[in-house]
Amino acid sequence: GAVVSQHPSWVICKSGTSVKIECRSLDFQATTMFWYRQFPKQSLMLMATSNEGSKATYEQGVEKDKFLINHASLTLSTLTVTSAHPEDSSFYICSALSSRSSGNTIYFGEGSWLTVV
């Protein structure tokens, strides 16, 4: 079964509104989670690194005020797309690094489809 759960799997929202996507590690503690965005027929693009108890680290070109990331506990990170626009429509996916792993265990969530109308 899944060890990283994302919710919602898909969401439709109106332009200008905000939407929150949750990423939970189910049976391990994740000090670090990563958020990716994937447009159709393209690869995964890293948006930011989410660290428990501290501010997220954003990749170049990603607006931190638009994509708010909160990692309030060792099992939950949230991505909030604020003032969404149609061009934000994409597949968003998180991954978690197990704090117990030797370094090669990265788990992916199931992904969330966002459509902004």
Partner 1 sequence: GQNIDQPTEMTATEGAIVQINCTYQTSGFNGLFWYQQHAGEAPTFLSYNVLDGLEEKGRFSSFLSRSKGYSYLLLKELQMKDSASYLCAVRNGGATNKLIFGTGTLLAVQP
Binding site for partner 1 (CB under 8 A): 32, 34, 36, 41-46, 49, 57, 91, 93, 95, 97, 103-104, 106, 108-111, 113
Give least dist CB 83 to partner 1, A: 26
For the CB of residue 16, give the shortest distance to partner 1 in the complex, in Å: 26
Q: Which is nearer to partner 1, 78 or 95 (CB)?
A: 95
3-state secondary structure of 110: coil
CA end-to-end span of the chain, whole Å?
Answer: 33
Q: Which is nearer to partner 1, 7 or 111 (CB)?
A: 111
Alpha carbon distance 96, 62 (integer Å) = 20
HSE of 67 in the Cβ direction (CA atoms, 13 Å)? Answer: 24
